[in-house]
Amino acid sequence: MTLKRLQDMGAIITGGAGVLGAATAQAFLDAGARVVLADINEAALAHTSLSLRGAASAVATTRCDITEATDCERLVAFAEAFFGRSIDIFVANAGRPFAGPLVDASAHSIRQVIDTNVTGSIFCAQAALRSLKSSPRASLLFTASLQSTMGRADRSVYTASKHAIAGLVKSLALEMGPQGVRVNGIAPTLVDTPFLHQACEQAGLDGTAALEKAAQSLPLGHIVEPQDFAHAAVFLASQEARCITGHLLMLDCGSSAGKF
């Protein structure tokens, strides 16, 4: 019998059309939750929704541009109407990558990363917390990164944005703890996704070979799968983690332990 860690809980997941969002949605459904998936890409969102196993009545989707505060507020209101009450879980997963030397980056690309990863995450948190503080099992989760705690060449803007998430997790945990809301982040290293394979190929690399080389550089000898992220999200959102807040769960196969 499957342990229903999130039975009857209502969750919002942004970036729901992506691989991490889809894997987390499936894990939440399997754990007994109802889910609202949000993404700016409506076509991909609809495809993701159809791929999920479980009762169709347990899933709803809506478009959301997290860089617009009013969109984030509308998303939470939509979820409250779907659940018939306040939300219990919000996974701020939507994000935008950045790669390349800072000196070559356009102002537009820099603003896109900061607007999405930082400002968008703050808007999501603001809208979510107004509802979460009414839930007895409230949990706000952010998708952080290994770059939330470490630097990396040619990833400066992304690293800055994910360091901001680490600070947001800590500050909001202190701010919202007295109101019963737990705030945590999940910080993965490389995750095996189609996007990562495409990025390798665009750089002129063989995706499979590049990922194998990356895996060999990690102490555990493998990289992160989307299901690993999803399992971490279920745990942190469950009452098994009721004493955990202000924490970054390093899903990094040992890479933050030190130089390997």
**Residue 179 one-letter amino acid:** Q
| 241 against 191, higher pLDDT | 241
Q: What is the pLDDT of residue 202?
A: 57
Once rounded to an integer, what is the mean pLDDT over residues 225-245? 98
Q: What is the pLDDT of residue 234?
A: 98
**Which of 193, 202, 207 has its CA nearest to residue 100?**
202
Q: What is the pLDDT of residue 1?
A: 38
What's the mean pLDDT when you consider all of the chain? 93
pLDDT in tens, 87-131: 999 999 999 988 889 999 999 999 999 999 999 999 999 999 999
8 A C-beta contact, residue 37 and residue 17: yes
| 68 against 217, higher pLDDT | 68
Q: What is the pLDDT of residue 203?
A: 62
First to last CA, the chain: 40
- Main-chain phi, psi angles of 51, to 5 degrees: -80, -10
Report all structural domains of the chain as residue ranges with CATH numbers, in order of start. Answer: 10-189+224-252 (3.40.50.720)
Residues in the chain: 260
**Which of 65, 69, 54, 5 has its CA nearest to residue 31?**
5
| 3 against 137, higher pLDDT | 137
CA distances from 244 to 28, 140, 167, 170, 183 (A): 19, 12, 16, 12, 8
Catalytic residue among 93, 158, 165, 241: 158
Annotation marks residue 15 as catalytic:
no
Q: What is the pLDDT of residue 259?
A: 65
Helix or strand (DSSP H, E) at 33: none
Once rounded to an integer, what is the mean pLDDT over residues 181-193? 93
Q: What is the pLDDT of residue 21?
A: 97
CA 6 to chain centre: 17
